[in-house]
Amino acid sequence: MQSLVIAPYLVWMALMLALPSSAAAYAVRTAAAGTLLATLVIFGGRLRMPSRASILWGVGAGLLVCLLWIWPESFEFYRRFFIVGPAAPPDAPSPYDPAVCGWTLTLIKLAGSAFVIAPAEELFFRSFLYRWIQGGDSAGARLDRFDLTAFLWTVGLFALEHDRYLAGAIAGAVYGLLAIRKGLASAIIAHVVTNLTLALYILLTASWQFW
């Protein structure tokens, strides 16, 4: 079952490395990883329904992370020191702009970002990696137990996965604490809300640099 838990994320990353950076390639990643994710949800039985309080925590945390992802971009020092590579200007052409790729692929980008890679990352980083660093399948490797070493490793690796690594570290810490305190489903909700809200912001303001 552990291989199924990490499969959506690993397939996503493998295709990201193998395919070009284009809207069509993103659609392929979304379809492949999304199929595995749906299989996990339908047949895996890994997630318990969160309580209403956990859902509210997830929504609130997701909105907070989205704000912290967008707001620092207004500061030059942040764009210079806390983004890997040159920060694209807001008016730079994007392969995900519907004027470039069409609305179908743009909406697939939105769906893949919010509903595929967000839960896939949470299953990999929080459900698998956090417990694996604690001790794999041992009895002490629990998601609801705070382990500083596992927490820092997970946050650090999650941050390095993103070009906005400071924002990524903050997001990883928020999602990690939420998973420990409120459960994995709450962390998934938070991540989905962050990515969905960010995607809507991008579409409404044409801030393609975030994609």
CA 60 to chain centre: 16
pLDDT at 85: 73
Which amino acid type is present at position 50?
Answer: P
Q: Which residue has the tokens 């659609």?
A: 27
Interval 114-136: pLDDT, tens: 999 999 999 999 999 999 999 87
3-state secondary structure 56-95: HHHHHHHHHHHHHHHHHHHCHHHHHHCCCCCCCCCCCCCC
User: Sign of torsion, CA 196 173 119 86?
Assistant: positive
Closest CA to 119 of 199, 209, 30, 1: 30
Angle at 88 between CA 33 and CA 22, to 5 degrees: 35
Q: Check pLDDT > 80 for residue 88.
A: no
Residue 135 makes CB contacts below 8 A (sequence gap 6+) with: 141
Q: How confident is the model at residue 33 (pLDDT cuts 50, 70, 90)?
A: very high
190, 70 in Cβ contact below 8 A?
A: no
pTM score above 0.85: yes
